[in-house]
A and B are shown apart, each in its own frame.
Chain A
Amino acid sequence: MTAEEMTIIGKSVNRKDAPEKVRGAAKYTTDYIAPDLLHAKLVTSTYAHAKIKSINTNEAQKVPGVQAIVTAEYCPGIVGVILEDQPMLAKDKVRYHGEPIAVVVANSEYEAKKAAELIQVEYEPLPVVNSPGEAIKPNAPLIHENHGDYRRLKHVFPEPGTNISNHVKIRKGDIGKAWAQCDVIVEDSFSIPQSDHAALEPRNSRCEIKPDGRVIIYTSSQSPFIVRKLISRYFNLDEGKVIVNTPLVGGAFGGKAAVHLEFLVYMASYAVGGRMVKLVNTREEDLIGSPCKIGLEAKVKLGSTKDGIIKAAEITYLVDGGAYSNMGVAITKSIATDCTGPYKIENVFCDAICVYTNHPFTTSFRGFGHMEYTFAIERTIDMLARKLKHDPLELRIKNAIAPGDTSPSLVGLTPSNIGNLKECLNQIKKLINWDGGRKVDMGNGKIRTKGISCFWKTPSTPTDAVSGAVITFNPDGSINLNIGPVELGVGSKTVLAQILAERLKWDINKIHVTMEVNTELNPVHWKTVASMTIYMVGRAVLEAAEDLISQLKSIGSIVLRCSPTDLDVADGKVFLKEDPNQHLDVTEVVYGYKYDNGNSIGGQIMGRGTFIMKHLTTLDHDGGKGVPGPGWTLGAQAVEVEFDAKYCTYNILKAVTVLDAGKVLNPKTAEGVVKGGMSMGLSFATREYFDFDIQGKVLNHNLRTYKIMRFGENPQYIVNFIETPQIDAPYGARAFGEHGIIGMPAALGNSLAAASDTDLNKLPLSPETIWKTRKEAAQ
């Protein structure tokens, strides 16, 4: 089908969830209010690393309204989705500031809070591991003394007797020989801090246990099906008796993929005989108690010929996974498989190492580690360009990855799985007016500079990630699209309805999508992460549509007395291709067709479709060979700043992204998602970080001190898409929900480094940091 023939794909269809969102009628998990609901409150650690000597709940028990207090002694085992290293509640010792120690259940929130404040925890402080660099020192305190004994999936590699929770190696080509081919070598170190998702809806869950043993959980989550699996696994419950519900989610960005509060709220409900208990994070708890974004320390060495052909990359990435590994170990693998950025480099030697620190534990965050390592790589590329006296943009074009090349983990690249980076760079050159002056002195102490970066990312999913879709009809011929992904805000439910509408040639307004997820009723969707919803669920929806069409044609062929191949389906009708006037309205067949004499045939028409990842492999441990994902999405980004040379303050004037989207399914939502990612990337790069004191405590755990970009601080955003179809994706559409964020800190860093003539290798790029770095470099 050509673009001209497509009626609904490529149109900015209004979001199906928008009308109730603008009226305040949209319901999120925490919007359930009921008089018999009990409320839970956490007691959290005030130390980053300490032995728990005692927990005294005597005074707390006396608070009127208190129903139960749960501590680690009531908890089964330790949990983890890849590596089992985390107690549900801290036992014997705490490993990060903010770690839950006890849960109080009371009739009201304020009574629970009052009791929680009266619980006395006696600590014995332990030495703190306050950075990834400290974690790998020979005599570093061990955060997990016995982590070699933890149960784990077979493709993670903790190193017993150290703080290392995973070690991934990429060995491509022959790095030893490669350096001999290099005329120019650059090498530097980079540091990217931990930070938080800070979704506007704090994480929250509630749970009740029914008299028949069914466990009903409501949770603000990206992974209701994983919640079902882990609650069942760790509390020894039948998986079919655990029912997880997720309504609309108020922002997630990866932070709601982890299962955490769900364990605590289940235990809270269990402790009060199964009554419904609600647990809502305060903002302070949400910032540090619940999982945050990884930090990264990187060492990058690049070598090129004098003509600017990059021949070798030797890289060490130290991932600050915090106190518990959660997704940190998987992010480490994902960083390793894409470790060079989107460049053709024949010789790569990369060690990606996830370490425990006494920092908040980490989970996925938009970009899955790519934003962090991209800052290191892209800053180094700019340093290489400077040393070579090459134009940084031309150097990138010269080395841009392309079909025929291989990825660091030796995946062969094709036009379908890689897209067109050179075209992205050519377009961004015009959009940022690259040739119109990369550094312009405005004459008033201000300098305008432009910085550029490239990015790529492939999803790092389990090799068996799966999705399903079920389509049913209503008697009026409208369609119910029943699917399992969560609506996090990116509008994927609307886009999935568009995919179905396009295939069935149906009115989009007659397609109803299940907005809430219920694991008992909806077909599975692995998790709503990795920008994979449209790719995976879209494929399942298309398969379900084929199934539906074949059933409509089958019954149509009987009634219309023809072969099914004579028929087509569109606009609510099954009709003869050569004479559309000979048709059946779907309303006549959706629940079976009835002849005039009462005889009936058929039955309910239901389409079913599924999708499972194909040809993915885990990485081989020695050389890092393997297929991490079905395809890459890549692009280029640019940032223009106006820099005050004296005070090192700056304004971001313009930020541009050109991304190979494969096919843009809904232009307005696509642009919004990319701009949102860019905004989050600039917010992170300019101001976001956890401010740890020397004891590993987070000093800025509220939104007054943990700053986020505000209205009016944003630059002008420009987003452009090119379309190189990914053949196996729905209508060719590549994944790009996360990607807008990836190259933003790097492009800003390159712009400010050019403006300040200083190597800026640390985030965030505050004026103080720039000033200090420049001053130190001058000495």
Chain B
Amino acid sequence: MFQVLSKSLIELEVNGEIKSIVVRPADTLLFALREQLGLTGTKDACGNGDCAACTVLVDGWPVKSCLMLAVEAVGHKITTIEGLKDIPIQKAFLDKFALQCGYCTPAFIINSHALVTIHPDANDEVIKEWLQSNLCRCTSYEEIKEAVKWVLGQ
């Protein structure tokens, strides 16, 4: 079993690239992504798993990176918002005005992208179940739903 007992060099696979970083055992994946790798598209808004602004994909599934240790991510494929380029959900968020301040947007896009990939036939109930983990304080959520439904309809 992989063990980290003190500050150690680990390798993470992030957005298809292998990155070597030094972490403390207590460092969260969120901390490592932002502070060690400079991938600041992943946001810290509660540090407690309540708002999901720090969502990334781990092997294709959305995970709150504030609730995962960096060392737990070793051996998994991590995708952050910086790894998603010109995918349909990004266009949909633009066209449907599904963002305002933009702080929750990367995580909503990550989560929505996983949703439409894993459940291409998602109905309203499934969409709600997936997206209610993420908080948005600016929009009414209707715009975000519209963006997701537009992608599902493609």
Contacts and interface: CB of A to CB of B under 8 A. Distances in A.
B149 to A, nearest CB: 13
Given A198-B137, A200-B45, A491 B100 contact: yes
A341 B143 CA distance: 31
Interface stretch (B57-65, B70-78, B102-110): B102-110
Interface in B98-121: 99-106, 109
B81 A24 contact: yes
Interface stretch (A42-50, A134-142, A267-275, A702-710): A702-710
A24 B139 CA distance: 18
A534 interface: no
A21 B140 contact: no
Which bucket holds chain A's interface residue count? 35 or more
Contacts of A202: 44-45
A33 B34 contact: yes
Contacts of B131: 711-712
Given A679-B141, A711-B144, A21 B135 contact: no
Which bucket holds chain B's interface residue count? 35 or more
Nearest to A248: B102
Contact of A18 (B43, B46, B94, B137): B94
Nearest to A489: B101
A714 interface: yes
B101 A251 contact: yes
Contacts of B128: 711-712
A33 to B, nearest CB: 5
Given A33-B35, A672-B97, A199 B137 contact: yes
Contacts of A282: 47
Contacts of B99: 15, 18, 21-22
Interface string A462-496: 00000000000000000000000000111100000
Most chain A beta carbons < 10 A, residue from B80, B97, B105, B134? B97
Contact of A248 (B41, B46, B47, B101): B101
A669 B97 CA distance: 7
Given A33-B34, A704-B50, A714-B142, A250 B94 contact: no
Contact of B100 (A19, A673, A716): A673
A22 B92 CA distance: 10
Contacts of B53: 200
Interface string B34-58: 1100111111111110110100000
Nearest to A18: B94
B94 A19 contact: yes
B43 A283 contact: no
Contacts of A712: 127-128, 131-132, 141
A636 B106 CA distance: 34
Contact of B94 (A22, A28, A200): A22
B101 A25 contact: no
Contacts of A21: 99, 102, 105
B141 A711 contact: yes
Contacts, number: 165
Given A711-B136, A712-B128, A712-B132, A22 B101 contact: no
Contacts of B97: 12, 15, 668-669, 671-672
A84 interface: no
A713 B47 CA distance: 23
A253 B100 CA distance: 12
A297 B119 CA distance: 49
Nearest to B134: A711
A490 B139 CA distance: 10
A27 B40 contact: yes
A518 to B, nearest CB: 20
Nearest to B128: A712
Interface in A19-60: 19, 21-28, 30-31, 33
A712 to B, nearest CB: 3
Given A253-B137, A672-B139, A711-B141, A489 B100 contact: yes
Contact of A23 (B38, B41, B95, B141): B41
Contacts of A713: 132
A351 to B, nearest CB: 34
B140 A250 contact: no
Contacts of A354: none
A117 to B, nearest CB: 14
B139 A250 contact: no
A20 to B, nearest CB: 8
B101 to A, nearest CB: 3
B90 A251 contact: no
Given A489-B102, A675-B142, A22 B90 contact: yes
A197 B132 CA distance: 20
Nearest to A702: B48
25 contacts: A14-B95, A19-B94, A22-B90, A22-B93, A22-B109, A23-B81, A24-B41, A25-B82, A199-B137, A200-B45, A200-B53, A200-B101, A201-B45, A201-B101, A202-B45, A251-B138, A490-B138, A491-B100, A672-B140, A679-B139, A679-B141, A702-B48, A710-B141, A711-B144, A712-B131
- Pairs A-B, 10 closest by C-beta atoms: A24-B41, A489-B101, A24-B81, A250-B103, A21-B102, A712-B128, A489-B100, A703-B50, A675-B140, A31-B40
Given A18-B102, A676-B140, 9 more contacts: A18-B93, A25-B82, A30-B44, A199-B103, A490-B138, A675-B139, A680-B137, A704-B48, A708-B137
